[in-house]
Amino acid sequence: MKILGIETSCDETAVCVVEAGGPQFEPGFKVLGNALFSQIAIHAQYGGVFPGLAKREHAKNLTPLLENALTDAGMFKKIDHTEISHTAELEKILSREIDLFSHLKPFLETTQKPDIDAIAVTAGPGLEPALWVGISFALAIGKEWNIPVYPTNHMAGHILSPLLEQNVLEFPVLALLISGGHTELVTMESWMKYKVIGQTRDDAVGEAFDKVARLLSLPYPGGPEISRLAGEAREKNITPSFSLPRPMIKTPDYDFSFSGIKTAVLYLVKKIKEDNKSDELTEQQKLEIALEFETAVTDVLLAKTKKYLEGNEVKTLILGGGVTANKNIREAFTEMATQFLSTKLLIPTKDLSTDNAVMIAIASYFDIQSGKQPATAISAKGNMSLSDE
Ligand code: KG4
Ligand code: ZN
């Protein structure tokens, strides 16, 4: 079957066409078309993602991205202008999305229905105004072209994304999801049987990277910047002259806390600046802080994951979310996994680790295979949890 995937939960607008087939135990996926626009540069000037701005950008970009994805898939065909059949209903769906409507309506009027069997759209978790645009877009297209629409959990997408390249998933699964909005350890006993066993009590890992980067006067998003400095520090064999806390590393649960490390960096930076008698940190001091911060975060993520692997049978360990782009974290997990011979580690490629529509189409395929029914009304759920699936 051919699935149109739509993702707008944060600052990436993405539309794809994925061909999916095979039973759940032996699925096969092929990306036929994939179009993504990252708003990072737009939000960078404000030092973080602004939901209202994200929403406007999604509304503006969804229709051109749909056209690009369909063109890639060889499914975009213009037709002579026709009246769209459900104008009143479409207007209702799109009434809260005027910007979206002004782009989508002329597109639907002049585009032939493509050979798509299902539409998958992220319904949560994420920024609600951003999620709503994607949902309205999906429902409007579904209505006009008479294609079933399936609400999809963004985190399930992160977990299942490696299946684009793997044609088997062995249970039980443990997934560590680390992004700008989430830090979760999730188990999966079988298809669609998720349980969030631990999560952050305050900041998400990516958020901590971004906040610490700001303390070091580095641009947003801070993760790649810290990662670059920490890498440079390792190359130069720098040893930090201070240490940062590893919050909750020894607690008996699987929860995390990262705001303490960030606060420790705040006080450290203040103290160093006083000692420097300057409002600036030296390059060497920035390298030391980036290195020690990245090491502290990696230590905590590793310790909690390892604790679960030691006490439980896990056939597949999956890392997901934007922070898995971090080289040190990838290497540390790859090294740790060699101690667990019966556990296979799956880390999606960088393109699949950050937010994208392909993972949404993939997750939806498994939902559909599990008997999930399409929806005619979908609500955005900013704090949607995998435990509720
Ligand atoms: O999953 P994602 O693309 O978006 C969501 O938050 O859903 O993750 C973005 C986060 C940002 O906080 C960014 O700083 C972080 O991932 N990130 C990194 C790296 N690349 C991106 N964090 C650490 N090291 C990196 N190399
Ligand atoms: Zn994400």
Give ligand 1 pocket residues (Cβ under 6 A): 10, 179-181, 206, 209-210, 221-224, 227, 321-323, 325-326, 354-355
Query: Which residues 6+ apart lie within 8 Å of 294 measured at CB?
Result: 226, 227, 230, 326, 328
| Residue 262 scores a pLDDT above 90 | yes
> pLDDT per residue over 182-205, tens digit each?
999 999 999 989 999 999 999 999
Nearest CA to ligand 1 atom 8: 322
Nearest by Cα to 200 from 235, 164, 251: 251
| Residue 83 scores a pLDDT above 80 | no
CA of 155 to the centre of ligand 2 (A): 7
CA of 389 to the centre of ligand 1 (A): 25
One-letter identity of residue 222: G
- Residue 309: how many CB atoms within 10 A of its CB? 18
- Residue 381: how many CB atoms within 10 A of its CB? 16
Instruction: For the chain, count helices (H), then strands (E).
Output: 13, 10
Distance from C-alpha of 61 to C-alpha of 171, rounded to nearest angstrom? 38
| Residue 15 scores a pLDDT above 90 | yes
CA of 268 to the centre of ligand 2 (A): 31
**Which ligand is the nearest neighbour of the Cα of 204?**
1
> pLDDT per residue over 268-302, tens digit each?
999 999 999 999 999 999 999 999 999 999 999 99
CA of 173 to the centre of ligand 2 (A): 19
- Looking at residue 44, what is its pLDDT? 83
Ligand 1 pocket: which of 36, 176, 179 to mutate (most atoms <8 Å of CB)? 179
Handedness of CA 5, 194, 127, 376 (dihedral sign): positive
SS3 state at 120:
strand
